[in-house]
Chain A
Amino acid sequence: MGLDPLQIPMLDGRIAIALAALSHSLFATFIVGSSLIGAGIATAAYRTGRASYERLAHMIAFTLVLTTGTISFLGVTFVFCLNIFWPRFWHTIFHVMFWPFLIEAMLFLGEAVFAYAWYYLWSWTSGPGWQRRLHLSFVWIAAGCAATAMFIIDITASYMLTPDPVNAAWRNIFNPTMIDLDVHRWFGNLTWAGFALAGLSAIGLIRARTVSDEEHYRWAGRVCFSIGFAALLVMPIIGYQYLLHVRYGQPQSFETLMLGERSWLFDLVALLYGLLILLGSYYIYRVVRSNSLRPASFDLFISISLLILVVAALVFAQPYHLQHIPFVSYLTDRQINPLGKMQPNKYFAMAFLVFFGVANAIYFLRVLRHNDFTLAQKDRSNPSILIALALCSALIIVVMGWTRETARAANGYLIYGHFALQDEHATYDAPKSGRARED
């Protein structure tokens, strides 16, 4: 009894798995973030009774239903792909992590049931008090299930990088990188979902036909942007801790990411992060400038802040080992770019990005309280910036996921030190060939 070899290069299988995993994770992260944001907005709607909060909550509920439906399909696809392209690995990891996988799936079921109840029983928001409270509880339960499911799946994701020990699922819950990964994803999900919802509001604003619609979507865009931007500012601090634990827990992997052949991926993350801070600050500049009640210090501060952020973003994205960037050998023979040193250049750049980002966010939150904006009704620049932020945040989520996975795969491992890509070669090649095709 055995398997028919696929008779294709393993790279094809890796691409198929990567596509399935990354598209799945893009929606999964959005669901966690948007359910948490939705719970907050719905609570605000319940407490204040403001129609704008309720309308925003309804939009979030709709996106949650659509993405939940999509991810359930992507989940099935991912499982099928793993069965076909990496059956041996899939069996091994599933055997070790059987109960976490099962609990995660059940929690997702809980998320789906309550998210659907939240959306499809929307008429309860105008019902008697108990019905409104029950309706509000739906989104909180959905968010709780989604966040717990993420915690559970982070056990597996971190275990694959830092298994400790290899064959004991429950003892691996708190493996060396588990908590860092989970906290990092909490803020990453809020960033991505916040910007994505801001982007959707921006599309709503562009398509709005009435003044009240325009006002609503403009306000919704600002609220969602502030959530995404605030979470973005926390990311480097947790990311630093995460990398520190990768460094001590799996030094070879750390080396690959920071100085090795895949360091260009980390540079790409840095580039996207700088771009997000820069675009966000530019959006803040445009919004706050349009408010007549802005603080007097803002005009001078934002000019300096934007200038510093441009420089910091450029430095943060600098590569150190130039030849590790694909195709750069066609342009230069230089090996080292001194500007790309982590210490002190990138640490300073990161600190500036966070510090000035926080300062800009404080200005933004201050003027957000005063609804005295004088933007042109047909302004298209601000919505365009929000859409660009949404796209960049989607990209950074995908690249971060890829970076984490490649930290193992570049060194030939699917479970670090215990299950190698080599172990899956029989799935691809017939034994008669006697060699593995890893092209």
Chain B
Amino acid sequence: MGGGLLRQIVFARADPLTPMPEFTSLSQIQVPVLGNSLAIGIVSLLHIAFAGLAVGLMLLAPLMEAFGRSNSLYLETAHSMTRFTLVTYTTSTVLAVIMAELFIGLFPQTNTWLFNQFRAPILVAIAAFLLQLFLLYPYYHYWEPIRAKSPGAHLMMGALAAALMLVWVSVLDGIGSYMLTPITEPGYWSRLLNPTWAPLVIHRLGGDFVLSGYAVAGYGAWRLGSQSEDADKLYYRGLLQIGVVVGLGGLLLQPFTGLLYALSIERSAPSAYAQLIKGSYQPLVYVQFCLVALLFVGTHAVLRSARTTPASLVWTQAALWTSAALMIASVGYPDIRRLFTFLLIALTGYVAYQWRNLFVPNVPHRWDRPLVRGISIALAVTGLLTYWTMGTIRETARHPDTVRGILSLTDGRDTHSSFSEGRR
């Protein structure tokens, strides 16, 4: 029987849909003051802030541990990153539960219908999450004993936990992307592999690195200001540098993954893409590109301020700032905007490469300067705001639907489907 259950759920192909009874006997729940959509939105944004950071740090920790074989700073960084992940772990999960509960209570039909389009992937995701839990806790709480016996096994535990977390995230991204680009093919796995799933997974992964990188840099910068011991200063300066490298690395990749994601939306849901670029939510796109530009120029400002000789590459720096401004100005013209975006990436990459000795240990630089620390903290906040804006933009792309073209938010005025739910 148990085997039958697993087999039927995992391998079942969906049968013709059966009508779901309307829950008309129950009155509509209304969240006071905020409204239903905003209530879910706020909790979702809080959740993704913690979850995005945790995923990024979980992926970075084993990487840092691997580098830690030659430099103990990286090892300590890996330990701190895992500690942060664990401390925020439950908060993030409970926020997810609250988000799911709001979803169940306020948009029951969407919730019930949507969950049941992904039964098998959800079961796989739960199994992966459980295994991840069994690996992550000993990875942190028995750090020294396991490393004393086998550093390789310990590293493998961290890497496996991160990989299993990616399985979880990928399934959730499958549900999220399906809401924007649903497909009619039967089968749970086909629905997961909808046209925007892979681009979303890649783009979000890049976003996690940007978010966590700048968060680490911001934290390092904040703590660096209050240290008196040399060893502590060295550690927090190291955190600041690692954070900037990770954040910048992710930032240089993100426009490419973003382009891939945007093109996949444009190809599979042109009206949704048009709504993003030209519709009533266009200001959000402007905000997004302003924040992205701030991340680029802010990172450049950090590198420049940390140098003892900031005067080099004057024209390149001027071109970098100009490209950022032109990228914002051309938001409504995707082709021109992309041109300036790529120029901005190239210039930032070039400057960072030219100033690479900023990250060489034991070379005197001015990472401790209040200006560097201040901008780094501002970058951490900007990184989070960018992450939130991108999440919001994705959700608005299918407005007023909860599942684009299938289920609607509105109360029956503009619905495509046989039923609607909720109120804005």
Contact = CB atoms under 8 A, between A and B. Distances in A.
Tell whether A and B belong to one assembly.
yes
Contacts of A53: none
The 3 nearest A-B residue pairs measured at CB: A72-B93, A112-B90, A83-B115
A94 B105 contact: yes
Given A6-B119, A83-B112, A102-B101, A72 B20 contact: no
Secondary structure class of chain A's binding surface, majority of residues: helix
Interface in B3-24: 4-5, 8-9, 12, 14-21, 23
A77 B9 CA distance: 16
B122 A66 contact: no
A66 B86 CA distance: 10
Interface stretch (B125-133, B342-350, B389-397): B125-133
A106 B29 contact: no
A1 B112 contact: no
27 contacts: A1-B17, A1-B20, A4-B12, A4-B14, A4-B116, A5-B18, A9-B1, A12-B4, A16-B5, A66-B137, A66-B141, A72-B97, A76-B96, A83-B112, A87-B112, A91-B23, A101-B105, A105-B97, A105-B98, A106-B98, A108-B97, A112-B91, A113-B91, A116-B87, A116-B90, A120-B83, A430-B16
B156 interface: no
B26 interface: yes
Given A91-B108, A91-B111, 14 more contacts: A1-B19, A1-B20, A1-B418, A3-B116, A6-B8, A12-B4, A16-B5, A66-B137, A75-B94, A76-B129, A83-B116, A88-B21, A108-B97, A120-B87
Interface in B68-100: 83, 86-87, 89-91, 93-98, 100
A80 interface: yes
A105 B94 contact: yes
A69 B86 contact: yes
A7 B9 CA distance: 9
Contact of B95 (A96, A101, A109): A109
Interface residues of A, number: 51
A112 B19 contact: no
Residue among B97, B102, B133 with most chain A CB within 10 A = B97
Nearest to A88: B21
A136 B363 CA distance: 45
Contacts of B98: 102, 105-106, 109
A352 interface: no
Interface in A1-55: 1-9, 11-12, 15-16
B359 interface: no
Contacts of A6: 8-9, 119
B102 to A, nearest CB: 7
B100 A76 contact: yes
B111 A83 contact: yes
Interface in A84-98: 84, 87-88, 90-92, 94-96, 98
Contacts of B104: 79, 83, 90-91, 94
A95 B108 contact: yes
A172 interface: no
Contacts of B112: 3, 83, 87-88, 90-91
Interface in A212-259: none
Nearest to B25: A167
Nearest to A105: B98
A68 B1 CA distance: 32
B417 interface: yes
Contact of A73 (B8, B12, B129): B129
Contacts of B105: 94-95, 98, 101-102
Contacts of A167: 26
Contacts of A83: 104, 111-112, 115-116
B10 to A, nearest CB: 12
B116 A430 contact: no
Contacts of A62: 141
A90 B94 CA distance: 19
Contacts of B102: 102
A1 B9 contact: no
A8 B93 contact: no
Contacts of A5: 15, 18
A101 B101 contact: yes
A399 interface: no
Contacts of B93: 69, 72-73, 75-76
Given A4-B14, A83-B104, A90-B104, A72 B90 contact: yes
A426 interface: yes
A2 B95 contact: no
Nearest to A78: B97
A252 B94 CA distance: 37
